[in-house]
Structure 1
Amino acid sequence: MAELEKEQQTYTCSKKFAAKGRDETKKMWHIAGPAILTGLAQFSIGFVTTAFVGRVGVVELAALSVVQNVIEGFSYGVMLGMGSALETLCGQAVGAGQLNMLGIYMQRSCIITGVTALILTPTYVFATPVLKLLQQSANVSDLAGTYSIWIIPQLFAYALNFPIQKFLQSQSKVWVTTIISGVALLFHILLNWVLVIKFGHGLVGAAIAGNVSWAFVVVAQIIYVVSGCFPDAWTGFSMLAFKSLIGFVKLSLASATMLCLDFWYTTALILLVGYLKHPEISVDAVSICLNLQVWALTISMGFSAAVSVRVSNELGAARPKAAKFSILVTVSASVLVGILFMAIILASRSDFPKMFTDRTLVIKETSKLGYLLAATILLNSIQPVLNGVAVGAGWQSLVAFVNIGCYYLFGLPISILLGYKFKFGVQGIWSGILGGCLLQTVLLLFITIRTNWQKEALQAEERVRTWGGPSEPEPEPAKILP
């Protein structure tokens, strides 16, 4: 009889756990699904520009690639990081039921990202001398400088886009952004065909098309926010946006540092391979692999956005156990997707390079990197999600220090030793980079597992109260729920 009751209790607990898992999975995919589609659509805007400019000329394509990877890549990482502080604050405010703070937070973030855009503007204006200093050819540098000046409006579009997106994400209102991004992508294709191909405006036409497309994304999102769909979260412009900026700046800088260290670490792979003897084949092979990695990473970033929202919401609502459970569910889902992509790469490592090139040597070299690419994709199904946990909990400063140690004090030196000293070439360089990522992932897993989540919930309550602004209503002290 006792054994029967024990079995029944076990069955009941399993049933409750399964139901809880299904409920959390639905919440996770409600955010991750549209976030993935939004990321793919916005990433494809640059991809479409490259495809059309590639039909104009080799020098124009080279100039565009340099701007996208050096000038825009740097600025995009900084702006995304500066805007990511909003994920922590808005998410925790939503969980705490303090929706009145969200509009204020978004305005503060827009002020900070707008000032950041102003600071970054000279890198666009003086792109030509900067690129020549980096030993780029004169023709490419001159064209790149012209193009970068034309796309300065896109820099300020980023300054508004990221805070608005985080504002919407924190409330799980993401499908409208997905639709807007999808429409913008279709509009961008049409604009490029008209301006670049039909009227032959080349790089300038591509720049104008990008400006118009990003302006559409930002204006459409602003209209959505102020249209009355968020009566509690958006109550109009307020002078409170200029208060408590110091704390915002600190968290924004920490977020920017954390994300930029990730962006630049991957860029280091290309730079290190470029310094090998006769690097042409190796650079082409690595570029092909990184293109595939970026597509997989875009999906992981969707899971990262989802776990960031879920963790921040649950901590703000003083439900630490629910926050832990959301991490388990999201990491598990992302890993399953990562295993699927890893299996596809391993199964097609001799064939997928043919989608990008018909050069036999490049195909052969890319196939050799298939194992490293597969391992990287699997690792990237975990690491961005843990970064999302860090953003949701407000650990940006801690993770920035972890990234510096794992990436730049461990991973890069190992890459240099394996690639140059021990002459393993591109495989050695990538192995060192991968080793840094592995160490960082292990440390973040350890930190996440060892975290006192009840303490994190109390800190979230304190953060909401402190940064809400002295004139805003203070939240009632939350009860920490099991």
Structure 2
Amino acid sequence: MDDGIETTLLLRHEEEEEGDLTQRIWEESKKIWRVALPAVISRVCGFGTIIVTQSFVGHISGIDLAGYSLVQTLSVRFVNGILLGMSSATETLCGQAFGAGQHHMMGIYLQRSWLVDFITLTILIPIFICGTQIFKLFGEEESIANSAGYLSLWFIPFVYNFVFSLTMQTYLQAQSKNMIIAWISAFQFAIHIPLSLLLIYTLNMGIPGAMIAMSMSSWLVVIGELVYIFGGWCPHSWKGFTVAAFKDLLSVVKLSISSGVMICLELWYNAFLVLLAGYMEDAEVAICAFSICLSLNIWECMICIGLLGAACVRVANELGSGNAKAAKFSVKVVVWTSIMIGVFFFVLCLVFGEKVACLFTDDDRVANEVSDLSLLLSLSILFNSIGPVLSGVAVGAGMQGVVAIVNLVCFYLIGIPLGVLLGYFTTLGVKGIWIGMIGGVLVQTLALLFMTWRTNWDDQVKKASERLNRFYLESNEHPE
């Protein structure tokens, strides 16, 4: 009789635990998507602007599609990687400050990030001014290098929007106020296509029209976000411009550099694929095909980068508030969410991967090459759905330096050498390069999973508290 009672109680306890776990997963998922959904919409729409412009350029000129692909994949990604990495320091600080209730410090962190990012980008602008010479130095065909150099100049007004858009997104995201970003980005993407049609075909401006449309629509997002912040919708975190933004810049730069290296090593990795493709036979076709595949891969990756931001915010918020257990649980939920998204798009790409090239080009050679690479594209999408989220966990915990080392080893000491070996010393050719790089991504994902599993979250709570106290005290600002 006693055994029966014990069994009944045990079963009832297990049912309650299961119900409690289901409820906890649901509540955590709502918190994650409250941050992630607007970020996903904004990033998908933002990168969608680049994809749409690439499509218009491809239908105008094949050689300009190759030039655009080089600039967008190499130069823009190089700069974007640095600025995104620098901005992730703002993500760490704002997320932990919000969790700790130091709301007034968030506006100061935002202004510091503007200063750091603007100076950094201005130093990097010669990359676009000297585009032709740089691509010729890398050994690209003269016609492709000339086209890339011409298009590089048109990208300059576009890349300056990163200084404000990337930092303001992290600032608003940390406060769960990023729904405004989603609405602005969706509006921008909606008008980008008709604006491009107007400038390219109605006004017959061709390539310049496509580039002007891209710059104009991207700056609409920046203007909208500035109006929202300055207009009084962030009263607790935005106290106006202050000289405190000029203090402690060196400390912010140090954290930004480690963040920048971590993100850059990850974003630049695929760029080497396009660079190596330029040395293959029929470089124009190879570059166009690879850039189309990579653009689609990155477009899907924008969803996971949105989850990266959510992972960073949730982990940073919980660490800032001293809740190690909640931070650990959030990591588990967001990782499984990312895996399910990756599997969905893996299947979708297998079904439609052979038909997407027609959106970018009328060249049958490029379309056939894209079709031939569709399986590798599907695998890349699957593996790239996990790594960014784990990187977001690291950013939220302030472990950027460790992840930078992992990315360096996995991508540049394993992936690229393996890709070169398979691509140039076997009959696989360009497929071999991509297989090697997928291998690097797989090793990186496993390493980050192991690192996340071994993380002592109680220690991370202590480190977050020390970091916030250090930055708070050094600013000498006590407005509240």
SS across alignment from 1:228 = helix
1:472 has 2:477 as partner:
yes
**Offset from partner CA, 1:189-214 (integer Å, 9 cap, x none):** 33323333222233333333333222
The answer to whether the Cα contact below 8 Å between 1:418 and 1:432 also exists between their aligned partners in 2 is yes
User: Which of 431, 437, 450 is residue 433 of structure 1 equivalent to?
Assistant: 437
Identify the residue that residue 374 of structure 1 maps to in structure 2: 378
The residue matched to 2:107 in structure 1 has which SS?
A: helix
196-205 or 101-110, larger mean C-alpha shift: 196-205
Question: What letter corresponds to residue 471 of structure 1 in structure 2?
Answer: N
- Name which of 265, 270, 293 aligns with 2:269: 265
Which residue matches 2:226? 222
C-alpha distance in 2 between matches for 1:426 and 1:96: 50
After the TM superposition, which residues 109-258 of structure 1 pair with which residues of structure 2 at under 5 Å, given as runs? Answer: 109-136=113-140, 138=142, 140-142=144-146, 144-258=148-262
Distance of 1:297 and 1:227 partners within structure 2:
32
* Amino acid in the other structure paired with 2:413: L
Taking only aligned residues, the RMSD between alpha carbons, in angstroms, comes to: 2.5
Q: Normalising to structure 2: TM-score of the pair?
A: 0.91
Are the equivalent residues in 1 in contact too, given 2:69–2:288 (CA < 8 A)? Answer: no
C-alpha separation in 2, matches of 1:204 and 1:363 = 25
Q: How many Å separate the matches in 2 of 1:361 and 1:190?
A: 29
Select which of 322, 329, 332 maps to 1:328.
332
Cα distance 1:167–1:146, how it changes in 2: closer, same or farther (>3 A)?
Answer: same
Q: SS in structure 1 opposite 2:458?
A: helix
Q: Greater shift after overlay, 125-134 or 259-268?
A: 125-134
Do the aligned partners of residues 217 and 351 (structure 1) sit closer, same or farther apart at CA in structure 2, a change above 3 Å counting? closer
Quick one: percent identity of the two aligned structures?
40
Deviation at 1:282, TM superposition (A): 5.3
How many angstroms apart in 2 are the aligned matches of 1:173 and 1:406? 35
Matches within 5 A, 1:406-421: 406-421=410-425
Are 2:14 and 1:10 equivalent residues in the alignment?
Answer: yes
State how far apart, in whole Å, the 1-side matches of 2:194 and 2:358 are: 28
Q: In structure 2, do the counterparts of structure 1 residues 214 and 352 end up closer, same or farther at CA, with 3 Å as the change threshold?
A: closer
Q: Decide whether the 8 Å contact of 1:258 with 1:397 is kept in 2.
A: yes
**1:22-64 CA-partner distances (Å, limit 9, x unpaired):** 1001111112111111111111212232333345444444443
Determine helix, strand or coil for the equivalent of 2:427.
coil
- Report SS of the residue matched to 2:233: coil
- Distance change >3 Å, CA 155–CA 447, structure 1 → 2: same
Q: Number of paired residues? A: 475
Which residue of 291, 301, 317 corresponds with 2:305? 301
Deviates more, 1:318-327 or 1:131-140: 131-140
Q: How far is 1:285 from its partner? A: 4.7
Contact persistence 2:130–2:149 (CA under 8 A): yes
CA distance in 1, matches of 2:248, 2:94: 15
**2:76, 2:214 → 1: CA distance?**
12
Alpha-carbon shift at residue 280 of structure 1 (Å):
6.3
Query: Shift in Å at residue 348 of structure 1?
Result: 4.8
- Flag structure 2 segments of 5+ consecutive residues without an equivalent: none
For 1:304 and 1:388, how far apart are their aligned partners in 2? Answer: 4
TM (norm. structure 1) is: 0.91
Contact 2:55 2:359 in 1 (8 A): no
Name stretches of at least 5 consecutive residues in structure 1 with no aligned partner: 476-482
Q: Distance in 2 between matches of 1:62 and 1:410?
A: 28
* Distance in structure 2 (CA, Å) of the matches to 1:243 and 1:277: 53
Residue matched to 2:79: 75
The one-letter code matched in structure 1 to 2:75 is I
Match of 1:404 among 392, 405, 408: 408
* 2:29 aligned residue: 25
Please tell me whether the aligned partners of residues 127 and 144 of structure 1 are also in contact (alpha carbons under 8 angstroms). yes
Q: Distance in 2 between matches of 1:443 and 1:164?
A: 31
Task: Name the CA distance, whole Å, in 2 between partners of 1:150 and 1:440.
Answer: 35
Q: Secondary structure at the match of 2:176?
A: coil
Tell me which residue corresponds to 2:293.
Answer: 289
Q: Distance in 2 between matches of 1:316 and 1:175?
A: 23
Whether the 8 Å CA contact 1:151–1:208 is kept in 2: the answer is no
Is the contact made by 2:293 and 2:377 (CA closer than 8 Å) also made in structure 1? yes
Structure 1: how far apart are the matches of 2:362 and 2:143?
28
In structure 2, the residue matched to 1:93 is: 97
Cα distance in 2, alignment partners of residues 350 and 264 from structure 1: 26
